[in-house]
Amino acid sequence: MKSTFFTASIVIAVASASGALAFPLVKRAADPVTTVLQFALTLEHLENAFYSQALGKFDAAAFAKAGFPEFVRGRFEQIAEHEATHVSTLQGALGSAAPAPCTYSFPYNDPNSFASLAMTLEGVGSSAYLGSAGNLVSSPAVLQVAGAILPIEARHNGWITSSVLHQQPWNGAFETPLGPNQVFTLASGFITSCPASNPTLPFKAFPSLVFEGSPAPGQKSTVDFNATSTGESLFVAFLSGLNSTFVPLDGKTVTVPKGLQGTVYAVVTNNGSASSDANTVAGPAILQFPFSSQVSNS
């Protein structure tokens, strides 16, 4: 059975609905900050749809039947309100330059699979913030608010992972940053179509990367990706925190490094010492390696 973990989220709010966090309206579509905000809203629409659709499908009885305490659905409703607020504030900031919602497809069929996907989605949200921070240095007001939202995404993820799914609330001492193209690649897995009137974003999606079965640290795993082979040596870069571990790819087989835990991103690259958009062949894929509360942080 194939196992692939993919999702995406980037949440960059620029003003509160009440105006408590003031931010000037975006005026120029060519402004790099405008592009970042359009991308943020595109992904916020996705996240907003994810929660609203799932909560509309699974009522309190469905969550109880799945074995969740009563408070769990209520917290998910609060998270959904957060995401709806992010959408409305970004729409207000962008005005006529705001992209409209797309059509989405989410791979969940019950409250349990919804919660698992929510965990991954919120984790990518934190990583996406880190990866986009450098693109916001020209606008300190936006950067400040993005920094205020980042820990909320992390709190969402930590609560879902530990209180709902009874797994680890963190991966280690550092979060893993993801660049816009990596996030765009992950988001593309959920988007089926978008309005033709939406702005064209200057990002690209890499070929998808799939790990077969249930990959585990220290074991060999088979990967699948659709990139065209050029005969060059390929590697899998495992991204965890601020560290990247490169392992040679033997055909379609790779040995997952020992010691990895929590959420780990993997990309196929033609460079064995550096991972960048320029040398990415496929991915990222998202791997989850749950770990006990008794293991060492190292």
257-273 pLDDT tens trace? 999 999 999 999 999 99
**Comparing 12 with 135, which gets the higher pLDDT?**
135
**Comparing 25 with 290, which gets the higher pLDDT?**
290
Do domains 2-193 and 209-289 share one topology? The answer is no
Is pLDDT above 70 for 298?
Answer: no
Angle at 132 between CA 95 and CA 144, to 5 degrees: 70
Q: Do 93 and 23 meet the contact criterion of CB atoms below 8 Å apart?
A: yes
Beta bridge partners of 245: 238
Residues 97 and 180: their CA atoms lie apart, in Å, by 19
What percentage of the chain carries pLDDT values higher than 70? 88
Q: What pLDDT sits at residue 133?
A: 78
Asked which of 16-20, 71-75, 136-140, 246-250 is least confident by mean pLDDT, the reply is 16-20
Measured over the CA atoms of residue 102, residue 16, residue 150 and residue 136, the dihedral's sign is positive
Asked which of 147-156, 170-179, 239-248 is least confident by mean pLDDT, the reply is 147-156
Whether domain 209-289 has CATH 2.30.29: the reply is no
pTM: 0.85
Q: Which CATH superfamily is domain 2-193 in?
A: Ferritin, core subunit, four-helix bundle (1.20.1260.10)
Residues 66 and 115: their CA atoms lie apart, in Å, by 11
Q: Which two tokens stand for residue 275?
A: 């991972």
Q: What pLDDT sits at residue 131?
A: 87
Q: What pLDDT sits at residue 50?
A: 97
pLDDT tens for 11-61 read: 222 222 223 333 333 434 457 778 888 888 888 899 999 999 999 999 999
Q: Where are the domains of the chain?
A: 2-193, 209-289
Per the listing, tokens 């991966």 go with: 171
Q: What pLDDT sits at residue 86?
A: 84
Residues 81 and 23: their CA atoms lie apart, in Å, by 21
pLDDT tens for 157-181 read: 999 999 999 999 999 999 999 999 9
